[in-house]
Amino acid sequence: MKRDNFILSLCMVGIVAMAFMSVEDINDRSMPYPEGFRKWVHIKTTLTGFGRVPQTKLDGFHHIYANEKAITGYETGHFPDGAIIVFDKQVADTARNVIKSGSRKFINVMYKDSKAFADTGGWGFEEFTGDSKTEGRLSVERQQSCFKSCHQAQASTEFVFTKFTN
Amino acid sequence: MKRDNFILSLCMVGIVAMAFMSVEDINDRSMPYPEGFRKWVHIKTTLTGFGRVPQTKLDGFHHIYANEKAITGYETGHFPDGAIIVFDKQVADTARNVIKSGSRKFINVMYKDSKAFADTGGWGFEEFTGDSKTEGRLSVERQQSCFKSCHQAQASTEFVFTKFTN
């Protein structure tokens, strides 16, 4: 009986330990909504897929914003942990010769955490649909795909495509 | 002789007084280069005159930035003195379906000072060519024209055209 209790205790300790590992693992990859990013520094704006019919998911205005730590990265070439870059992708509304940035399609976010995201160049990749702060999240496979099929090629600039110009 | 000296003194006082009035008048309308505006809040970006041949002075990307006091204005509807809004006008570089923001054509700046610019809705209007911090300044007549031929119509929003959206 005592031996059974000992084994049961061991199993419970194991289960609790696994639960904690699991929580820690999830927390390590968790990427919160980048609150207030619209008042961060504007890196640049590009318009892609103009005139393409039908428009693809990525077509439209790309407004790129960076928090203070990311600005340090743009200015020094080394992005510290805590750097966040937001790609704010909006519909291009055209009227005659004027093209305005319309409703938000989604935002893509890059979070620098060299430990948590060591397998994707130190950057976590996340997505939020429209103005939602919870919907549209990427699976781990898609997060890894963002890196492997796209950002990995930019190793010389720490996997960041854009540059900041005054 | 004493009378002549008295008249001469009066004239000199008058000339000195006029000189001071003139300096004060120039200072009141002086509009310094908006240092660091690229790190202010990005209000919006619009692309005008796309495809127009030849391009007019105003055609291209319009990136609009606002300092903290101007953000107060956008958020409350009342722009305090010290608010500054910058229109950063850049060439639109097109390659296939991608339109990038290129070199800076010029910046237009609005400065809120309800006393100094009382005759133009409380806003001063200035221009700087390309990346220059000194060239391209507007004459007083052109400053007044910015208001009368354009911004005056926007009285309901304190003569500001743009809105800030999160």
Query: What does the pLDDT profile of chain B (166 residues) look like in tens digits?
Result: 455 665 556 545 544 444 444 433 444 678 999 999 999 999 999 999 988 999 999 999 999 999 999 999 999 999 999 999 999 999 999 988 899 999 999 999 999 999 999 999 999 999 999 999 999 999 999 999 999 888 998 999 999 999 999 9
The interface predicted TM-score of the complex, written ipTM, equals 0.82
Nearest residue in A to B44, CA atom: A101
Distance, in angstroms, between A97 CA and closest chain B CA?
5
Nearest residue in A to B64, CA atom: A42
B27: which 2 tokens? 């200072």
CATH code 3.40.50.720 for A2-157: no
Phi, psi angle pair for A10, to nearest 5°: -60, -45
Residue contact A97–B48, C-beta within 8 A: yes
pLDDT for B27 equals: 44
pLDDT for B23 equals: 39
Domain boundaries, chain B: 2-157
**What's the length of chain B?**
166
Residue contact B39–A99, C-beta within 8 A: no
Query: How far does Cα B156 stand from its chain's mean position?
Result: 19
Locate all alpha helices (DSSP H) within chain A, ordered by sequence: 2-29, 68-76, 140-148
Model pTM score: 0.83
> Which run of H or E residues covers position A72?
helix A68-76
pLDDT for B3 equals: 58
**What's the length of chain A?**
166
- The answer to whether residue A5 scores a pLDDT higher than 80 is no
